């Protein structure tokens, strides 16, 4: 991979019991780690007993049945191994910012591990694709690599297809500009630079994957929902401790809870 890595980069893909990042569970995860030290890529794949039913809709997509995972480990039993494998690496995947990353964070949280993404750069290959050529993963592989995906919706097949698409994107868009809906031009938008790709594939308006908080025009973190919509999170937590307790104890993502707890600690120290 022709990328100058300042730290390891892990591509990963998740298959799950459904599409709710908080309520559903991982049943398969595959990871490929590229080393910043130039070592050969490392691959890991796991089938996981989710401990809850797999939805019929999910089974129709990935084909993994309860029988396939009945004797497999629970996520909590392999969480530390996956956590250690990822380490402090940056992360990449297909639709990973909205689904795979927050779902993985939830699973780690249930296993008692705090998976922080504050200092990680996130590359969502789908965002490159949708901005430049809005289509599906299978179409992306066909478009960029002129080949068909095999075993679609198997996690390892999908993550390998994602890597192929990513490499095709780097080659196809080398030196090309991106023009957004407002006519703003980003020169040479797709480069083999992790920070630039992170910036290009992330919606920097929002603070968390579930879009419960965002930045206002002054760079302050504000709520993007509910009765305090548009108000600074720090100000709300300072004046309404019950709202803090409500977020921490209700069905919000672990990422939202991490951010709120961090802001609360900062307001208490002032």
Can you tell me the mean pLDDT for 237-253?
Answer: 95
Kindly give, in sequence order, each residue whose CB lies less than 8 Å from that of residue 172, ignoring residues fewer than 6 positions away. 144
Evaluate if residue 265 carries a pLDDT over 80.
yes
The Cα–Cα gap between 24 and 16 comes to: 7
pLDDT in tens, 165-207: 999 999 999 999 999 877 889 999 999 999 999 989 988 889 9
CATH architecture under which domain 9-201 falls: 2-Layer Sandwich (3.30)
CATH 3.30.420.10 domain residues, the chain: 9-201
Task: Categorize the per-residue pLDDT at 270 as very low, low, confident or very high, splitting at 50, 70 and 90.
Answer: confident
The Cα–Cα gap between 199 and 46 comes to: 30
pTM of the model: 0.75
- For residue 134, count other CB atoms closer than 10 A to its CB: 10
Mean pLDDT of the chain: 94
**Per-residue pLDDT at 206:** 92
Residue 89: which of 101, 78, 75 has the closest Cα?
101
Paired sense of beta strands 185-186 and 26-34, if any: unpaired
């Amino acid at each position: 991979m022709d990328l100058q890595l300042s730290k390891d980069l892990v591509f990963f893909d998740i298959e799950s019991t459904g599409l709710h990042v908080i309520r559903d569970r991982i049943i398969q995860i595959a990871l490929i780690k590229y080393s910043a030290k130039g070592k050969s890529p490392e691959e890991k794949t796991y089938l996981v007993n989710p401990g809850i039913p797999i939805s019929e809709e999910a089974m129709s997509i990935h084909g993994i049945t309860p029988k396939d995972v009945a004797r497999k480990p629970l996520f909590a039993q392999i969480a530390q191994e996956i956590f250690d494998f990822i380490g402090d690496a940056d992360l990449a995947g297909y639709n990973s910012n909205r689904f795979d990353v927050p779902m993985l964070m939830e699973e780690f949280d249930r296993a008692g591990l705090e998976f922080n993404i504050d200092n990680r750069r996130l590359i969502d290959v789908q965002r490159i694709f949708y901005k430049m050529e809005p289509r599906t993963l299978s179409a992306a592989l066909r478009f960029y690599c002129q080949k068909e995906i095999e075993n679609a919706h198997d996690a390892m097949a999908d993550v390998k297809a994602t890597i192929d698409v990513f490499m095709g994107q780097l080659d196809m868009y080398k030196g090309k500009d991106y023009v957004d809906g407002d006519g703003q031009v980003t020169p040479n938008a797709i480069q083999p630079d992790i920070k630039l790709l992170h910036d290009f594939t992330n919606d920097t308006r929002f603070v968390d994957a579930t879009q419960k908080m965002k930045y206002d025009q002054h760079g302050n973190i504000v709520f993007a929902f509910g009765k305090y919509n548009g108000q600074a999170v720090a100000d709300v937590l300072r004046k309404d401790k019950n709202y803090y307790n409500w977020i921490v104890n209700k069905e919000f993502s672990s990422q939202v809870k991490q951010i709120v707890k961090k802001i609360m600690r900062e307001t208490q120290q002032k």
